[in-house]
Each structure stands twice: as structure tokens, then as C-alpha cells.
Structure 1
Amino acid sequence: MIKFTILLKRNSALSRQQFVDHHRNIHASLFMSVPIVKTTVRRYVQQHAVEFQMPGLPPANYDGVTELWFDDIEALGRCFSDPEYLDQVRPDEAFFLDLHACDFVVSEETSVWNSVAI
């Protein structure tokens, strides 16, 4: 299983709440409407930063995280190179994200411990 983790930095023209609302209520539906997404993405999770300062640590650099799971690296590649994704979803990402300030990690997930049944 391949996991694609995206550390999200919002477009500075949007407030935190506008970013969260758009990501949850507009972008998620748009992303899931693309047929290649439905055939390649196995799990899709959004996380949005809460306002909290950890003692002794600098402020968070990111406004949220998106996690996507795929069967293999080829499925991830098919998803994000799909013409319909590039035509419909990528422009929306450019609207609500600062794409050049986001970070990305493609990894193989290893569960070390889980006390909660999912």
C-alpha cells in the first residue's frame, strides 16, 4: 500500500476558515467526482490544523494535511496524471492552496501500534 501525504499551505488570500470550508465542502467533492479517483484511491482523509501552540515548539508551518492511499505507485501516477484530474481538480488546488509552499511525501505505511479498531 502506498500513502501520499500532502502538507497543505493555504492560499494567503483565504482565511483559515475559508480554506477549511473550501477543502471540506468543495474540493473533496470535486476530487471524488473524477472517475480515476474512484478507481485508484483506496482511502482519503483530510486534517485541518487547530489553533494551538505547543510549548517549546515553533508555530506550525502548515494549515492541514491530506492523506491518500493507493494499491501501488502506478495507481498514484495514473490518478495524478489523468487529463480529467488535471483539467478539473488542479485549477481548484491552485485556487485554495499555495502549491509551491506545500510539501509531499510518497511512502509505504508501516503500522507500529494501533489501539483503535478502524
Structure 2
Amino acid sequence: MIKLSIFLTRRADLTHEEFVDYWTNKHTPLIAGLPGGEVPVRRYIQLLPTGDEIPGVATAPYDGVAEVWVDDIADAAGWFTSDTYNTLVAPDEENFIDRTKTRFLYAEESPIFG
């Protein structure tokens, strides 16, 4: 399985709280409401920053991270180039994300302990 970590930055005209509200209460239900099989995702998790800081340790400048598990990179590519994504999901992302600052990390997990 491939895990995509998608690092999100809010639009400049939104507060962090407005970003979180839109992402969790409008965008997520939009995706969840798509017909079965439309989204090839095995698992989806939203990471929201706590606001905590450790002195001397740099904090990432993102408003949130979406973690998405897919079977393989072909499923991810198929989703992010699909008509549904490009006509429904991506336009909705414009309501709360500065998409020019979105970054993707494609990874395989290697559990060490826990």
C-alpha cells in the first residue's frame, strides 16, 4: 500500500479555524458522499496541528495534513486525474486551500516499534 501525506495550507483570507471548519464540515462530507467505488481510498485521516511548540524545534508551516492510503500509485494517479476530482473535488478545495502551496509525500510505511 502507498500512503500519501498531503500537506495543506489555508487560503490567505481564512483563519486557521475557518480552514478547519470548511475542511471537516463541508469538504470531507462532499468526498464521503461520492458514490461507492468512486474514491479508491483505503484509509483517510486528517491531522490538525495542536498549536504546541518545543523551544528550539522548528514547527511545520502547514494548517493540516491529509493522510490517504491507496493500493498503489496508479490508484492515486487515477483519482487525482479523474473527471470527478477535477470537476467536483478540486474546485471545492479552492474554497479553503491555497493549492499552490500543497505538497505531496508518497511513502511506504516501515514500522519500527509500537
1:41-95, CA deviations, whole angstroms, 9 ceiling, x for partnerless residues?
0000001112222211234311111000001111111111110121011011122
CA distance in structure 1 between the partners assigned to 2:43 and 2:32 by the alignment: 11
> Are 1:16 and 1:63, in contact at CA under 8 Å, matched by a contact in 2?
yes
CA distance in structure 2 between the partners assigned to 1:33 and 1:81 by the alignment: 19
Q: What TM-score, normalized by structure 2, do the two folds share?
A: 0.90
Partner of 1:72: 72
1:1-118 equivalences under 5 Å are 1-35=1-35, 36-37=38-39, 40-114=40-114
CA distance in structure 2 between the partners assigned to 1:11 and 1:72 by the alignment: 30
SS at match of 1:51: coil
> Are 1:41 and 1:68, in contact at CA under 8 Å, matched by a contact in 2?
yes
**Displaced runs of 4 or more, over 3 A:** none
CA distance in structure 2 between the partners assigned to 1:113 and 1:26 by the alignment: 36
Structure 1 unaligned blocks of 5 or more: none
CA distance in structure 1 between the partners assigned to 2:54 and 2:60 by the alignment: 9
CA RMSD of aligned residues (A): 1.3
Between the aligned residues of both structures, percent identity stands at 38
CA distance in structure 2 between the partners assigned to 1:84 and 1:72 by the alignment: 19
Structure 2 unaligned blocks of 5 or more: none
Q: What TM-score, normalized by structure 1, do the two folds share?
A: 0.87
